Structure 1
Amino acid sequence: MLLRKWDELPEFMKNNEVKEYYNILNKKRFSLILKRFFDIIASLILLIILSPVFLTVSIWIKLDSKGPVFYRQERITQYGKVFRIFKFRTMVINADEIGSLITTQNDSRITKVGEKIRKSRIDEIPQILNILFGEMSFVGTRPEVKKYVGKYTNEMLATLLLPAGVTSLASIYFKDEDIIISKYITIDNSVDDVYIRKVLPEKMKYNLKYIKELGIGKDLMLCIKTIL
């Protein structure tokens, strides 16, 4: 969670656009310490409280379809580090190999149970483990797959100064991302094209704004907004 010295950042992140956001975060080092402290305490408490949910959903998934309980896809977090995200599995086995990395409305790969837990966002709960391990934070830019991070502009790379997050203002406004993407899909536009050209830039506006306004109070407000 602690901010590295500028010289210690990965070379691909060292540009003038990232430097602007780095300088902002450099003045908020105490807030970053509080943010990590909050993540550790809150994730431990939630793991205990939500243990019955973990057990119930796990059994539900196993009874519904073949495959593991958790979906472990590689994502990118702070400083471009690769990690494996924890999510309850909502799709058929090998879904990534038989379709896009982005899900669309009425995606045939989604299981019956998966459809229900996706609507309530219960599938995101296991990411509490990623938070505890320091790979994610409660609030921050949603972790992308390497393919989409490769499409980031110089300014978008500034979001990698912080750990990826479970929720954000962008996550709230784009909670029905699959429906939004479906509206733009045509014969000439694939799911990936629509996401990279239409959705990603809009989401990043909110993510970059968050860096400028970062604070523990802001995080608490976003967590409450997410629950509501």
Structure 2
Amino acid sequence: MNGSIATKFKKSIMFLFKILIVVTAVGLYIGGFKIWYEAPRLMFKDNYVIGVVYLLVFYTLSYSYGAYRIGILRLRELVYSFSLALVIANFTGYSQLSLMLHRFIAVGPMLLLTFAQVLAGTLLYIAANAVYFAINPARDALAILANPEDDERVLRKFLSESKRYRIVQYCHESDGDAAVQSAMDGQPLVLMLGHGRPEFRSMVIRHCYETDKRLLMVPNVDEIFVHSAVRCQIDDIPAFLFRGHQMSSEQKLIKRAIDIVGSAAALIALSPLMLLAALLVRLHDGGPEFYRQTRVTEGGRPFQLYKFRTMVQNAETNGAEMASSHDGRVTPVGRWLRMLRLDELPQLFNILKGDMSIVGPRPERPELIEQYCRQYPEFRYRLKVKAGLTGYAQVFGRYNTLFEDKLKLDLLYIQHFSLIFDFYLIISTVKVLFMPSSSAGVEEKDPGGKRA
């Protein structure tokens, strides 16, 4: 079996597993619905509509949460993504059926159905994961290093993916082009971890292309910008059209309308929870419920950001200081609010006012922006769009993700902006709300070189 046929066969096997996961989840739902919930007053078309709506909701959520990225995400995250999509889809189905029957239907059968779906899905994921790594064993890889301090951090992440990559050889940019090329010839996969000199990067890319090597590289900021270029042609000359981010008038109007409707609806729906949070903050130490802080949004414009107060009063008498893990200034109530992300809810007022958007880079403080720009001049490009309550870096990074990596994620969002991408990030935000790693304290070095 040649390489092309083998690759197609492997993809077909995994595609069948993905189909089986969807069919199992939807099939169990339809079966449970017919056994426990089908009512004589519902027409055939009603049953059809219920099934189609459930399929669309479940598949959209499960796909957005990465439930079909078998072999890429860890098994526990696959099961978590699948289960979260099921819970939301089942709740939607329960609500839909209750509205159609004009009464609250029994909850017990739906809970039993959800448990059966999760159990069946977990077993399928265990089997799919085992099959994936059986037919796709870890690839031997060469790791090319450039900057020891930064590369070590990236290297640790690759080493944690031992089922996908098996680093069997290392070389360094300082070894020279000939030695690095010789090392690349001996391995099927090349990992270029650091940025290095442009000439060296170009040599590695060209050599991998010439020898049909797989190359996995960590991009620098300039490569992120060029990645959004459009292919074009000037007479008989091939060219790339690169332009800075600029939303169209229609996009700005639609995005603002979504912000207004979304924040207003969320404020109404979450008002009981927000009132409870405010009451707990007040009862704890008698201090103010809200905390106001100057942040910066689109175009460098400062605004007053609203949050529930999570620290003791006068927590920054010695000036601005980033929060860290086990920060003694955080109150017991505040720790719970941070863990559940409830402290961010008052920012819905900022969105309604127009200071922020639902999706965008995290708003930063003016003094920190000045500090960041001294080490990373590209940081100012984040100010091309409004700050957001959620965003690419918030969803796909962690709270303790290195600052430079968060910046790259924000720039990727800006360069590839679309309303569909915004919708995807909004859906994906639900997934990270309940993941402990997404709310961990800062452990990185800040641009000033101090521990945050």
TM-score range, shorter chain: 0.7 to 0.9
Q: 2:332 matched to 1:112? A: yes
Q: Distance in 1 between matches of 2:396 and 2:318?
A: 28
TM-superposed CA distance for 1:76, in Å, is 0.7
Q: 2:403 matched to 1:200? A: yes
- Asked if structure 2 preserves the Cα contact closer than 8 Å seen for 1:65 and 1:111, the reply is no
Structure 2 equivalent of residue 82 of structure 1 = 302
1:205 partner amino acid: K
Structure 2 equivalent of residue 217 of structure 1 = 420
Q: 2:429 matched to 1:226? A: yes
TM-superposed CA distance for 1:32, in Å, is 2.2
1:207 partner amino acid: D
TM-superposed CA distance for 1:176, in Å, is 3.3
Q: 2:378 matched to 1:155? A: yes
- Asked if structure 2 preserves the Cα contact closer than 8 Å seen for 1:40 and 1:131, the reply is yes
TM-superposed CA distance for 1:27, in Å, is 5.7
1:65-119, CA deviations, whole angstroms, 9 ceiling, x for partnerless residues? 2321011011111111111101111000111224752100000000000000100
TM-superposed CA distance for 1:23, in Å, is 3.9
Structure 2 equivalent of residue 137 of structure 1 = 357
Structure 2 equivalent of residue 167 of structure 1 = 390
1:126 partner amino acid: P
Match of residue 93, structure 1, among 313, 318, 321: 313
Q: Calculate percent identity across the aligned residue pairs.
A: 36
Structure possessing the higher radius of gyration over alpha carbons: 2
1:176-210, CA deviations, whole angstroms, 9 ceiling, x for partnerless residues? 32xx6xxxxxxxxxxxxxxxxxx322111000000
Question: Which secondary structure state, in structure 1, belongs to the residue aligned with residue 268 of structure 2?
Answer: helix
1:55 partner amino acid: L
1:201 partner amino acid: E
Structure 1 equivalent of residue 342 of structure 2 = 122
1:164 partner amino acid: A
Structure 2 equivalent of residue 36 of structure 1 = 256
Q: Distance in 2 between matches of 1:137 and 1:60?
A: 27
Q: What TM-score comes out, normalization by structure 2 length?
A: 0.40
Question: Which secondary structure state, in structure 2, belongs to the residue aligned with residue 138 of structure 1?
Answer: strand
User: Residues 180-191 of structure 1: matches in 2 within 5 Å?
Assistant: none
The structure-2 alpha-carbon separation of the partners of 1:78 and 1:27, relative to structure 1 and needing over 3 Å to count, comes to: closer
2:392 partner amino acid: L
TM-superposed CA distance for 1:24, in Å, is 4.1
Q: What TM-score comes out, normalization by structure 1 length?
A: 0.77
Moved more, 95-104 or 112-121: 95-104
The structure-2 alpha-carbon separation of the partners of 1:28 and 1:155, relative to structure 1 and needing over 3 Å to count, comes to: farther
Q: 2:290 matched to 1:67? A: no
The structure-2 alpha-carbon separation of the partners of 1:63 and 1:27, relative to structure 1 and needing over 3 Å to count, comes to: closer
Q: How many residues align?
A: 192
Structure 1 equivalent of residue 366 of structure 2 = 146
Question: Which secondary structure state, in structure 2, belongs to the residue aligned with residue 84 of structure 1?
Answer: strand
Moved more, 107-116 or 148-157: 148-157
What are the ranges of 5 or more consecutive residues in structure 2 without an aligned counterpart? 1-224, 229-241, 432-452
Across the aligned residues of Structure 1 and Structure 2, the Cα RMSD in angstroms comes to 2.4
Question: Which secondary structure state, in structure 1, belongs to the residue aligned with residue 327 of structure 2?
Answer: coil
Question: Which secondary structure state, in structure 2, belongs to the residue aligned with residue 101 of structure 1?
Answer: coil
Structure 2 equivalent of residue 195 of structure 1 = none
Q: Distance in 2 between matches of 1:97 and 1:142?
A: 24
The structure-2 alpha-carbon separation of the partners of 1:45 and 1:69, relative to structure 1 and needing over 3 Å to count, comes to: same
TM-superposed CA distance for 1:148, in Å, is 1.7
TM-superposed CA distance for 1:26, in Å, is 2.8
Question: Which secondary structure state, in structure 2, belongs to the residue aligned with residue 96 of structure 1?
Answer: coil
Q: Distance in 2 between matches of 1:158 and 1:37?
A: 24
2:277 partner amino acid: V
TM-superposed CA distance for 1:156, in Å, is 2.1
1:106-158, CA deviations, whole angstroms, 9 ceiling, x for partnerless residues? 00000000000100101101100000000000111101111121122443212
Q: Distance in 1 between matches of 2:348 and 2:247?
A: 28
Q: Distance in 2 between matches of 1:149 and 1:156?
A: 8
What are the ranges of 5 or more consecutive residues in structure 1 without an aligned counterpart? 1-18, 181-198
1:221 partner amino acid: Y
- Asked if structure 2 preserves the Cα contact closer than 8 Å seen for 1:66 and 1:93, the reply is no
Question: Which secondary structure state, in structure 1, belongs to the residue aligned with residue 245 of structure 2?
Answer: helix
